[in-house]
Amino acid sequence: MVELNGKVAFVTGGAQGIGKAIVKRLSNDGFTVAVADLNITTADEVAKEINDAGGKAIGIKVDVADRDDFFRAVGEAAETLGGFDVLVNNAGLGPTTPIDTITPEQFDKVYHVNVAGDIWGIQAAHEQFKKNGGKGGKIINATSQAGVVGNPNLALYSGTKFAVRGITQVVARDLAEENITVNAYAPGIVKTPMMFDIAHQVGQNAGKDDDWGMQTFAKDIALKRLSEPEDVAAAVSFLAGPDSDYITGQTIEVDGGMQFH
């Protein structure tokens, strides 16, 4: 049985990959969790897993690119779960985009999910935090090691993730007086369907196989292993918990030593 800590976390893209690992870790930490995802069926399945294991979770459908829908989802979570303490802006798209192939439609879609989605989430979370009687809260955004240094074939994705780091720093300054911390986590090469798809596309573009595509990203990992989703979830756990209360505006790189700063 999980011992609940009385706090509520809302995780976007929580039904698969890194998001699912974050949801499970925060549940183990004692958070009541809103598993927010565009795929409500999978979100409900993840929530059921948590509830069956003695935690407390609900699935919530959300389109992060739609501001009104994000506000609705956050309001629904706060009302149903009795509070709102942590937002994890985890949802994102990572298409492979050789520079000459980018279309206006693709640009709009990726920037609306990866950048606008984070802004709508921050606004919706801030609305809830203001109802908390000055207790503050935590906002945690997903950037990427591709948002720290440009990665090949990822002009759209890298661009959005650089933007997330900038937004994180600005909002950290803007909300600090309200006892709201805003930080980001930058995963490296994580074993998720999205990363395997990127590696496949990069390999195809070069006339090589999937392993070659993966190695173009993985060759510089100091720890010589790909990341598990749980590695990233551990960093988010730190940012969501009390040990990070004096940290704001920062990006924690969880990349096994690809970048040093």
| Active site positions, annotated | 157
193: annotated binding-site residue? no
CA distance 173 to 153: 33
Distance CA 122, CA 58 (A): 20
Task: Round to whole Å and give the CA distance between 126 and 131.
Answer: 9
**191 labelled binding-site residue:** yes
Q: Is 18 annotated as a binding residue?
A: yes
Q: Residue 87 belongs to what H/E stretch?
A: strand 86-89
Backbone angles phi, psi at 140, to 5 degrees: -130, 120
Does 189 carry a binding-site annotation?
yes
Exposed e or buried b for every residue in 49-74, given b needs 16+ CB within 10 A? bbeeeebbbbbbbbbbbebebbbbbb
Q: What are phi and psi of 43, to 5 degrees?
A: -60, -45
- On whether 95 is known to bind a ligand per the annotation, the reply is no
Q: Is 192 annotated as a binding residue?
A: yes
The answer to whether the annotation marks 104 as part of a ligand binding site is no
Task: Answer yes or no: is 24 a known binding residue.
Answer: no
CA distance 172 to 139: 9
Residue 61 token pair = 């459908």
Is 181 annotated in a binding site? The answer is no
Q: Find out whether 229 is annotated in a ligand binding site.
A: no
* Annotated binding-site members: 16-18, 37, 63-64, 90, 157, 161, 187-192
Q: Indicate the annotated binding residues for NAD(+).
A: 16-18, 37, 63-64, 90, 157, 161, 187-192
